[in-house]
Chains A and B, each alone.
Chain A
């Protein structure tokens, strides 16, 4: 079995209100020295061996997991 870890993150310049809110809450809790918080979505996709796994997962990202307008994605095959 192959596990593909897909990491979907916001493109540079796209606002991340969830990250900013988390940053603020962490600061309110007394953590200092924080520079930024960014939210990232990770999917672990379990696949059968064989075939062009990378191409398949790339297609999954393009067709559902990421919206090219705001997202960059990366795939790690484990």
Chain B
């Protein structure tokens, strides 16, 4: 399949606000993105022409924002709405090896839906992790540095070398990834064995470091994880905000080139054109 044939569903509901950047990131690389409201997939309150079928798309992208006002918990309402009517479609989509990306609020939605970390199977009935309030109890909004720790399972990071330190901005108040307290160690070991940990927050030397390098106090500095097959990926920082070098804060002091976030989209399009 050619990149120009890859159809991307950028899914939104009220309160998502990063769909434009997400849409543009795929469009600039020659794919065919479309901004789709969740109602168009569930078929509620929409005309016949507006209805869409998830299976017609090759990539599903959940953009950041504050879906449904982040009421109850960040991402919980979006997740509940997806689960109510789309569970089967989602599971089939993922089973077919099609990639799903969740950025920031999108990551929170994937976790609340049970699609990540998905320790056993594709979608767990109840969440197996949580993105809790940052340790600072504040909205942390600034550039963060990430190092890829994934050994190759993740469909979204094949174009990123393991020694590259990527500058990708964070903007969230609930990004502290946590697992059940009584089983944290076991879960971490399993994630490690399954190659599910993708990005960690690091300092400029690439070492795991505390606040402010890690903006939220996440377990083991984890910024992003994928499922066991590597086709569902969620991360808190926003790669779509650094598609171009000139949106890096230090861009005038560095040589020109692509922004650090671009490789995430290139990687997944690579995957889609090769495998789908």
Contact = CB atoms under 8 A, between A and B. Distances in A.
Interface of A: 11, 13-18, 20-21, 62-65, 67-70
B126 A68 contact: yes
Interface of B: 72-73, 76-77, 80, 83, 112, 126-130, 132-137, 176, 178-181, 217
A54 to B, nearest CB: 19
A65 B73 CA distance: 8
A64 B40 CA distance: 23
Contacts of B129: 69
Nearest to B181: A13
Contacts of A21: 137
Contacts of B76: 64, 67
A67 B179 CA distance: 11
Nearest to A41: B72
Given A11-B181, A13-B181, A15-B217, A69 B127 contact: yes
Nearest to B182: A13
Contacts of B137: 17-18, 20-21
13 contacts: A14-B181, A15-B132, A15-B135, A16-B133, A18-B137, A20-B137, A63-B83, A64-B72, A65-B72, A67-B130, A69-B178, A69-B179, A70-B178
A67 B73 contact: yes
B139 to A, nearest CB: 12
A16 B136 CA distance: 10
Closest 3 CB pairs of A and B: A17-B137, A69-B130, A21-B137
